[in-house]
Amino acid sequence: MWFFQHKDELRELQRRVDDLERNMKALDLDWSSTYDKFRSILARMAKRAERASQEEALPTAGFQEESTAPGDSSSLPQLLTPRQMAAQAKILARRRSIARVTEQ
């Protein structure tokens, strides 16, 4: 009746196998989560690169350059749509009026 003599050893072995299975399932879930995050990051990077290449391929005739104010250190043109240009003009007008009020 060796079975009864080794009953404790079999229980210990079964407990160890159960622990290993539980750990493997946890690792599998963790890896799946990490893989999904990595895949979504790569998808975002690919989409960003695609947008950048599309923007480079667009003709610049559809955009207007912002005129720089005298004394402005930034001489790089900014590509803005007409709607953005109008909003930018309003913002600059408000800033100029605030600057005039504070100078007086």
Residue 69 domain-assigned?
no
Q: Cα dihedral angle (7, 13, 14, 16), rounded to 10 degrees?
A: 150
pLDDT-wise least confident of 5-19, 39-53, 90-104:
90-104
| Range of the structural domain that residue 95 is part of | 75-104
Q: How high is the pLDDT of residue 56?
A: 80
Residue 27 domain-assigned?
yes
Q: Cα–Cα distances in Å, from 56 out to 61, 62, 71?
A: 12, 13, 29
pTM: 0.43
**What's the pLDDT band for 3 if we cut at 50, 70, 90?**
low
80: part of which helix (H) or strand (E)? strand 79-80
List, for residues 14-31, the tens digit of each pLDDT value.
999 999 999 999 999 999
Query: What's the structural domain count of the chain?
Result: 2
Q: Are residues 95 and 49 in the same domain?
A: no
Q: Are residues 41 and 13 in the same domain?
A: yes
